[in-house]
Amino acid sequence: MKQLKDIRLSMLDLVAVRQGGTVADALAVAVRTAQHAESLGFTRYWLAEHHNMSGIASSATAVLIGHIAGATHTMRVGSGGVMLPNHAPLVVAEAFGTLAELYPGRIDLGLGRAPGTDPHTMRALRRDRVETEADFPRDVAELQHLLGPATPGQRLIANPGAGTNVPIWLLGSSLFSAQLAAERGLPYAFASHFAPRLLLQALDVYRTHFQPSATLAEPYAVVGVPLIAAPTDDEAEFLASSTYQRVLGILTGKRGQLPPPVDGFMQGLHAQERAAIADFLAIAVIGGPDTVREGLQSLAQATQADEFILVSDVFDPALRLRSMTITAEAMAAQASTQTA
């Protein structure tokens, strides 16, 4: 059985724009957060592609990955993910090939199958392209080919890109990408930070059908975890009200900037709204050090994950850094207990 000491810790950042703040503020916070994650020994720092959302500043994902990689030293930096329906594979290969040449051995290319935006914006990104179910597997294969070594007579070569072998990850919240990642022998990340319902089923599909590849000898699964840690359970719950407000906005189609925490927010909602938020955040870990440690240990046993990638929507950037520190210390304390 997987123990907490065996699990790597990473961070997924949507680069939230906070109420009263600017995009420039959000980008500066992302840099400080990445640097702090690196100091805590986090394995990777991923940025998520979203468009046409006033509260998220990570739309130009490859640009931001370069910015974060340039402000850190050893930690892997990548996309969690690039929404492949929005882009031609050659453009993605050249962008990430360039990043790989700038920061060798540090760049990840996580790919998602959803557009990550509304239909109007998707049309603006890819014009009149009509997406079919066969497109994503074909585009993934094309990317693998473009990022691999160029072969004699190959007419289309990504330059930069060819020969960089940027690691490709498949991301998803359904069983489709789990099956494809298994067939291709690729690492897999499940988006349980916002769609936890099929988490265990998707992991089972991935592991059961996994085919070893030149990339990966055995399955490697990452689980997205909404997490907010504080010195006490009560304070963590208060800070989490920013997340609760954000989730309610997503569910009701009223997306906006990340709001400050509110006392008693959940208690003021209708039972149906509370249930919807709880469903969205079903695997969230929110609390003081003991609660965080116990929650992550339970999640480790349930999922047998190789890595947790945290999503932490804390309004105060300093308290977000504190949350990361408490989490890293809680995992280290659990690891020392398990080793003893």
Domain parsing of the chain, residue ranges: 4-339
**pLDDT at residue 332, rounded to an integer:** 87
Whether 230 shows a pLDDT value over 80: the answer reads yes
> Which residues, including other chains, have CB under 8 Å from residue 31's CB and lie 6 or more apart?
67, 68, 71
Helix-helix angle 199-209:175-184, to 10 degrees: 20
**Taking Cα atoms as reference points, which of 37, 80, 44, 10 lies closest to residue 308?**
10
> Which residues, including other chains, have CB under 8 Å from residue 13's CB and lie 6 or more apart?
30, 33, 34, 45, 46, 47, 48, 58, 311
What percentage of the chain has pLDDT greater than the value 90?
A: 84
pLDDT tens, residue by residue, 83-98: 998 899 999 999 999 9
Alpha helices, DSSP H only, in the chain?
23-39, 61-70, 89-102, 119-126, 135-147, 175-184, 199-209, 233-252, 271-280, 289-303, 317-339
The answer to whether residues 195 and 225 touch, using CB atoms and an 8 Å cutoff, is no
Tokens of 160: 């930069």
Domain covering 4-339 in this structure, CATH number: 3.20.20.30
Whether 183 shows a pLDDT value over 80: the answer reads yes
- The pLDDT of 290-317, averaged and rounded, is 97
**pLDDT at residue 5, rounded to an integer:** 84
**pLDDT at residue 134, rounded to an integer:** 78
pLDDT tens, residue by residue, 90-121: 999 999 999 999 999 999 999 999 765 666 67
Whether 259 shows a pLDDT value over 70: the answer reads yes
Task: Provide DSSP, 268-309.
Answer: GS-HHHHHHHHHHTTT-EEESHHHHHHHHHHHHHHH--SEEE
**pLDDT at residue 125, rounded to an integer:** 72
Whether 1 shows a pLDDT value over 80: the answer reads no
**pLDDT at residue 124, rounded to an integer:** 74
**pLDDT at residue 2, rounded to an integer:** 73
Amino acid at residue number 230: A
Radius of gyration of the chain (CA): 20
Task: Look at the alpha carbons of 243, 245, 250, 255 in this order and tell me if their dihedral is positive or negative.
Answer: negative
Q: What is the mean pLDDT of the chain?
A: 93
Whether 339 shows a pLDDT value over 60: the answer reads no
The answer to whether residues 308 and 7 touch, using CB atoms and an 8 Å cutoff, is yes
**pLDDT at residue 149, rounded to an integer:** 96
Alpha helices, DSSP H only, in 4-118?
23-39, 61-70, 89-102
Task: Provide DSSP, 162-175.
Answer: TT--PPEEEEESSH
pLDDT tens, residue by residue, 7-28: 999 999 999 999 999 999 999 9
**pLDDT at residue 335, rounded to an integer:** 60
Amino acid at residue number 169: W
Residue 195: which region, alpha, beta or left (left: phi > 0; alpha: psi -120 to 50)?
A: beta
**pLDDT at residue 116, rounded to an integer:** 57
> Which residues, including other chains, have CB under 8 Å from residue 12's CB and lie 6 or more apart?
46, 47, 48, 80, 193, 224, 309, 310, 311
pLDDT tens, residue by residue, 128-177: 666 676 799 999 999 999 999 999 989 999 999 999 999 999 999 999 99
- The pLDDT of 301-322, averaged and rounded, is 97
What does pTM read for this prediction? 0.94
